Amino acid sequence: KKSPHAETLRQRWMDDPDPTVASAGWALTSDRVNRKPEGLDLPGLLDVIDAEMKDAPERLQWAMNATLAAIGIENPDLRDRA
């Protein structure tokens, strides 16, 4: 999370076909939502979560759910959707 490469890795890993790697990308995303959400497409992230979470492997679901919770907690205007 503290690596200077975290943002690059976050973006690359989120789309990785390996669900373990993708879950690491989502974990970094959840951290970013909490710490520095500027520049993130939060509604777009909610779209991806809505479309993909139900069919994702359990580990990936947990990571996506953490991002979903972070969005809802940190953004009252998106709370109903999250």
Q: Which helix (H) or strand (E) is 81 found in, with range? A: none
Q: What pLDDT is recorded for position 28?
A: 97
Q: What pLDDT is recorded for position 3?
A: 86
Query: Which residue numbers in the chain have pLDDT < 50?
Result: none
Q: What pLDDT is recorded for position 1?
A: 75
Per-residue model confidence as pLDDT tens digits over 6-19: 999 999 999 999 99
Q: What pLDDT is recorded for position 2?
A: 80
* 19 neighbors 52 (Cβ within 8 angstroms): no
